[in-house]
Structure 1
Amino acid sequence: MITPAFELTQDPDFLTIVIKVPYARASEFDVYFEGEDFKFYAKPYFLRLTLPGRIIEDGREKASYNTDKGTFTIRLPKEIPGQYFEGLDMLTSLLAPKKSRSGKPLVEEIDTAASAGLSEEEEEEFDWEIEQTPYEESAESMLPLQYCYGFGNLRSGVFQRLQDELSDVIDIKAPDQTPVDERRRKRLAAEAAKFDPDHYLADFFEDEAIQHVLMYKPWWVDVHKKMTAFKGESHQEHDSHTFVVFSEEEKEQLRKLTNKSYLLDKRSRHHVYLGLIDILLAYCYEICVNEGDKNVESAWNIRKLSATLCWLESFTSIHDVVVSFGRRVLCYPLHRHFGLVTRAFNDTVMILQLGKAAVLKCLLDIHKIFRENDPAYILNDLFITDYCIWIQKTKSKKLAALSESLQKTTLTKSHIGFELEELEAAAVLVEEEERMLKAAGTVSKQQLPSSESETSESEESSSTSSSETEGSDSDERESSTSEDGKINSLQGTLQEERTAPLIDCNGLRQGTNTSTFEVSDEKPKVSLQSTSVPGKLIEELEKQMHTAIRLSEQPEGLAAASCILQEQEENRVSEPDGFSKDTTGKGNFLEVSSKANPLLLFCSTNEDED
């Protein structure tokens, strides 16, 4: 027999069941309903449902068949008009037989203390035909200790058979021999070693991409707004899952799930609820950063950010869950920003407020992501499949209380434990210092042209004062201005022919046994006679001087030389042929006034020859 696709809807007086049987004969079908039982048969399809409320047969029932779509629509009256049937979207639970749904003869699932008061009639309903397998002693059972993990800590020994897959699924090594407290210590140490301050500060200051993904709104945001508006208008506490719509693919997933009963004590149920929050937080982060699109990293993000999945953690408080998630967000994924932690926190609160239908929809999406990823499918067997079945039987009031407790939980950067606030403050101070240094550098660059202009003005005044000794003021100023420009062009091309210079006069370089100028920029060497100075004067100068001082390549050298000329102007004695002698005895100044190549030389004087 084939279980057909179906869906249930309701209004205050009727329950409507739509069954898809595209290959059945419309003339051959049977429908049976009474109380909470509903059965439908149309070869080869068979459907048996255990309804959450009672229906009756009073003549108002109606059935129709759409040949184009191949669907039966059956409309059944409610026994109590206006009654609200809860859990019509929980398809796995509806498909379970009525006997397994009650489960009263088995160990009590909600309160184990009540199992002692079972009546004899309830004990008679116990099903002795449960499946049994012969006990076989294996090497796994011979291990000294095996700690539990998985949904409700009901599993153990799983990774003994999956050592090759272990490193790609979870971070904890040898989970069967590692107690819960040691797992937690190792997890905290691994997170502290993984935290990268540089990566965190980079996302903190350069958060354009993060701010973009924070603007994304997943499907539950609009649904939550609709639910809030509806409750505000009607002032009625309707089950919020009516606002959540399951796709055909999700309904098919629910039909493939096998119904189970979970024997959980109070402590185990507490761990299950906290693990659910941890998994939803990781899922909300994944949906936000990828803006609802799935990629090859989706499975890695969810299981890496959830300590429940990655470290088989069993939390004891909601605050520990939120802190663990915040630490892992700042250590492992690509985007490590505290704003993403807050966003995932708020999204999880909204999902829980929407009820178990919204939670189930998210769990089915996680189940699909893990199913398509190898080897993450192991986590489906350990956690997600059981969560998908268990959440359908959970009361909505408990999820509402869980969302309220989560909403009251506070998380700050100081709770994370990585000294985030101190790190951010230090980074801000460094940024301020760099900004001040850049501002100072900009100011110095702006002042540089003014200092250069002052240097050129001093050079012009020095050349003007020296030229006044040769002739009239007006003529010498014009010649000095032209000579100054030519000297400046000449000084950039002069280079020393020999090494070992002696620095003198703040930039004038004094060499020994040097009598020629070397012109740079690949120009040929030109002797001193190459200038327009008369030959006889050059011969007399060559006899008297031992060393020729050449002009410095730096602009400061001309400025210094002109300053010396200005200071010693009054002490110089005029000589014929343009030669002026310095009365201080330190040297002779030669001023050659030639329109073609004006040249200023400072010559050392031998005291013996004087």
Structure 2
Amino acid sequence: MITPAFELTQDPDFLTIIIKVPYARASEFDVYFEGEDFKFYAKPYFLRLTLPGRIVEDGREKASYNTDKGTFTIQLPKEIPGQYFEGLDMLTSLLAPKKSRSAKPLVEEIGASAELSEEEEEFDWEIEQTPYKESLEGTLALQCHYGFGNLRSGVFQRLQHELGDVIDIKDPDQTPADERRRKRLAAEDAKFEPDHYLADFFEDEAIQHVLKYKPWWVDAHKKMIALQGESHWEQDTHTLVVFSDEEREQLRKFTNKSYLLDKRSRHHVYFGLIDILLAYCYEICVNEGDKNVESPWNIRKLSATLCWLESFTSIHDVLVSFGRRVLCYPLYRHFGLVTRAFNDTVMILQLGKAAVLKCLLDIHKIFMENDPAYILNDLFITDYCIWIQKSKSKKLAALSESLQKTTLSKSHLGFELEELEAAAVLVQEEESMLQATGTVSKQQLPPSELETSDSEESSSTSSSETEGSDSDEQESSASEDGKINPLQGTLQEERTAPLIDCNGLRQGTNTSTVEVSDEKSKVSLQSTSLPGKLIEELEKQMDTAIRLSEQAEGLATAGCIVQEQEENHVSEPDRFSTDTTGKGNFLEVSSKTNPLLFVCSTNEGED
């Protein structure tokens, strides 16, 4: 038999069931309903439902068949007019008949923390059973439990080759819960990168953009707030959560079953639900609702429940774990995203189990399309999708209220984020001050510094020397901006040794400079314009020998020595002058036939 697609709606007096049965014989169908039971048969389709309220047969019932759409529409009167049937969109929970409840749990821990103060649900003893298997002595004690409600064990012993691609913990079947938590915290501490965090903290344009995205639950929550105080019927008319055909089909595929959970296990399940929803909300926000190949990784990596098989004991522990993982693993590591996911999760829980179920179905689809993340569906998501349909709405409301009252700050995460941010802000301010200081022009300097600069310029005795001093000031200004002269950098360690830099060879309007390097001890000629022609012209007019020597301290020193020119070209010099002013030693030689000027400086860092 085939279970057909169906949906249920209601008004104050009637319950309407729409059943899609394409290619069925409309002339041969049977409908049975009494109390909470409903049965429909039209070969090859069969549907049996357990309704959340009672219906009666009083002559007002109606049924019709649409041949074009292939749908039966059956309208059944309610036994109590005006009664509101809750959970009509929980299709999986409606498929199986309601079973009798027999007893409460026989063993219950006394004095356990009760963040959920509602009365406990009764248990259903009719659960799925597995045959007993003999095991070696001591094997049972070594098995650690995990999964939904910590009901699974031994799973990864059969999936060792896929273990590393699904979860971070190694050998979960032999690792107790306390040890898992210690290893998780150590892994997060090792993964945290202050540079990445500070980069997202200061340069957050992309993050601020994704924070503006509004998923579907934002509008649904606004409608719910606007409808507060109105009756269930008005809320039902404005459908807040709508399931797609694909989601309804998936709900029909689930096998309805019950879960035997004690008080501790129920708390683990609720806290794990918060953890999974937080990771899902982060994924939806950063990708603005679009799915990509990284979506399964984001969800399972940010949820310690999925990635480390963690069993939380309080809501605050859930928030701390999620905040730490957001700042350690994904592309965007910003505390604002933690706050946004927190607020979104509160909205989803306040919207009720229909909104929670819709999110879980989306996670189920994301994992189903990814290999090997589908294993997490078998361990967690499928069970959550079935369990949430039978959960009490008042418990979800209490859970959202407890979550909303829980606070999380940066200091709770253990990464010293506030101190890190304060130090980064100080460094940024110092860099800004240095940059502002380096851009001050000569005209903006105090008068005392201007007089010092003028005295340095007045020490030159020729136009070429003045040009040399101007170049010195430009290089000094460049050094203030943080740009270190390569030649000065090589001599920075030996500040006691004199540096001789030969500048100012002048012929006509062309100026050439002799630079001396102490590393390779070579002389290079450079020119500001037409260097090749200038060198050839100088070689024709003079034959100059430049001798390099090293001083006793081991530093290479450049010496500029003017040798005698050829007798048929050079006459006696008309002027020979030196200047030792403390700023530098200047040597000038000139003649009538061959004007030549050398300027030699012995001060370190000056040309």
TM range (shorter): 0.7 to 0.9
Structure 1 413/494 Cα, relative in aligned 2: closer, same or farther at 3 Å?
Answer: closer
1:472 corresponds to:
none
The corresponding residue for 2:121 is none
- The 1-side partners of 2:342 and 2:38 are apart by 41
Q: Please tell me the residue identity of whatever aligns with 2:104.
A: E
* Alignment of structure 1 residues 40-439 onto 2, 5 Å: 40-99=40-99, 102=100, 104-105=101-102, 107-108=103-104, 134-138=131-135, 142=139, 144-231=141-228, 242-439=239-436
Counterpart of 1:161 in 2: which secondary structure? Answer: coil
| CA contact 1:370–1:379 (8 Å) conserved in 2 | yes
The whole-number CA distance in structure 1 between the counterparts of 2:567 and 2:271 is 108
Shift of 1:493: 3.3
How far apart are residue 108 of structure 1 and its match? 3.2
Following TM superposition, by how much is the alpha carbon of 1:287 offset from its aligned partner in structure 2, in angstroms? 0.6
| Contact preservation (8 Å) 1:349, 1:407 | yes
One-letter code of the match for 1:279?
I
Alpha-carbon spacing, 1:443–1:238, altered in 2? closer, same or farther (3 Å):
same
Q: CA deviation at 1:159?
A: 1.3
Q: Aligned residue for 1:523?
A: 537
* Contact 1:241 1:357 (8 Å CA) reproduced: no
Q: Secondary structure at the match of 2:52?
A: strand
The one-letter code sitting in structure 2 at the alignment partner of 1:270 is H
Task: State the alpha-carbon separation in 1 of the partners of residues 458 and 81 from structure 2.
Answer: 107
Matched, 1:492 2:523: no
Give the superposition deviation at 1:328: 0.4
Tell me, in whole angstroms, the C-alpha distance in 2 between the residues paired with 1:185 and 1:537: 93
CA deviation vs aligned residue, 1:76-113 (integer Å, no higher than 9, x gap): 111111110001011011001123xx3x23x5369979
Pairwise CA distance, 1:63: 1.2
Q: Is the 8 A contact 2:6 2:19 kept in 1?
A: yes
Cα distance change, pair 601–136 in 1 and its aligned pair in 2 (3 A) = closer
Shift of 1:236: 9.3
- Deviation digits for residues 471-494 of structure 1 (CA, Å, limit 9, x no counterpart): xxxxxxxxxxxxxx9968557137
Cα separation, 1, equivalents of 2:187 and 2:347:
31
Which amino acid letter does the alignment assign opposite residue 67 of structure 1? T
Aligned in 2, Cα 1:236/1:454: closer, same or farther, shift over 3 Å?
farther
Distance of aligned partners of 1:146 and 1:522 in 2 relative to their CA distance in 1, 3 Å threshold: farther
Return the alpha-carbon distance in structure 2 between the equivalents of residues 160 and 28 of structure 1: 52
Deviations 1:529-573 (A, max 9, x none): 9xxxxx99987627x99xx8899xxxx989x679xxxxxxxxxxx
Q: Which runs of 5+ in 2 are unaligned?
A: 110-123, 464-503, 519-531, 544-565, 600-607
Alignment of 1:32-43 (within 5 A): 32-43=32-43
The residue aligned with 1:479 is: none
**AA partner of residue 523 (structure 1):** E
User: Measured at CA, do residues 308 and 527 of structure 1 come closer, stay the same or move farther in structure 2, by a change above 3 Å?
Assistant: same
Q: Kindly tell me: are residues 80 and 461 of structure 1, through their superposed partners in 2, closer, same or farther at Cα, counting changes over 3 Å?
A: same
Deviation track 1:351-387 (CA, whole Å, cap 9, x = no partner) reads 0000000001111111111111111111111111111
Q: Which residue of 1 aligns with 2:493?
A: none
User: Which residue of the partner structure matches residue 501 of structure 2?
Assistant: none
Distance of 1:32 and 1:236 partners within structure 2 = 27
Structure 2 counterpart SS, 1:493: strand
Aligned partners of 1:241, 1:193: CA distance in 2, in Å? 49
DSSP-derived class of the 1:492 partner: strand
Asked if the contact 1:151/1:386 (under 8 Å) is kept, the reply is yes
Task: Decide whether the 8 Å contact of 1:590 with 1:601 is kept in 2.
Answer: no
Task: Give the Å deviation of 1:163.
Answer: 1.4
Tell me the number of residue pairs that the alignment of Structure 1 and Structure 2 aligns: 504
Q: Deviations over 1:193-229 (max 9, x none)?
A: 1100011111111111111111111110010011111
The 3 A distance-change label for structure 1 pair 493 and 309 is: closer
| Contact 2:108/2:263, CA 8 A, preserved across alignment | no
- The match for 1:541 among 559, 567, 572 is 572
Following superposition, the deviation at residue 137 of structure 1 comes to 2.3
Residue 528 of structure 1, CA deviation? 6.0
Q: Is the 8 A contact 2:55 2:78 kept in 1?
A: yes
Give, in angstroms, the shift of residue 160 of structure 1. Answer: 1.5
Secondary structure at 1:399's aligned position in 2? helix
- 1:9 corresponds to: 9
Residue identity over aligned pairs, in percent, reads 78
Deviation string, structure 1 residues 257-296 (Cα, Å, up to 9, x no partner)? 1111111111111111011100100010111111111111
Normalised by the length of structure 2, the TM-score is: 0.74
Contact residue 6 and residue 18 of structure 1 kept, 8 A: yes
> Contact 2:353 / 2:396 at 8 angstroms: preserved in 1?
yes
Shift in CA distance, 149/23, structure 1 to aligned 2, threshold 3 Å = same
Shift of 1:183: 1.1
- State the partner residue of 2:25: 25
Q: 3-state DSSP class of the match of 2:178?
A: helix
The 8 Å contact of residues 109 and 262 in structure 1, kept in 2 or not, is answered as no
Does the residue aligned with 2:184 lie in a helix, a strand or coil? Answer: helix
RMSD: 3.9
Q: Is the 8 A contact 1:108 1:263 kept in 2?
A: no
The aligned amino acid for 1:300 is W
Measured after TM superposition, the shift of residue 166 of structure 1 is 1.3
The equivalent residue for 1:568 is none
Deviations 1:8-53 (A, max 9, x none): 0111111111110111122111111111111111111111111001
Distance 2:134 2:168 in 1: 29
Which 10-residue stretch deviates more, 297-306 or 347-356? Answer: 297-306
After superposition, the Cα gap between the structure-2 partners of 1:380 and 1:591, relative to the gap in structure 1 and judged at 3 Å, is: same
Is the contact between residue 505 and residue 598 of structure 2 (CA under 8 Å) also seen in structure 1? Answer: no
Larger proportion of helix: 1
Inter-partner Cα distance in structure 1 for 2:515 and 2:419 = 59
SS at 2:250's partner residue?
A: helix
- TM-score (normalizing by structure 1): 0.74
SS in 2 for 1:392: helix
Give the Å deviation of 1:135.
3.3
TM-superposed deviation, 1:139:
6.0
Partner-residue secondary structure (3-state), 1:353:
helix
Letter in 1 for 2:282: Y
Q: Distance in 1 between matches of 2:274 and 2:227?
A: 26
| One-letter identity of the residue aligned with 1:527 | Q
SS at match of 1:72: strand
Distance (whole Å) between structure 1 residues aligned to residue 203 and residue 346 of structure 2: 28
Match of 2:563 in 1: none
- Report the CA distance shift for 1:486/1:74 in structure 2 as closer, same or farther (over 3 A): same
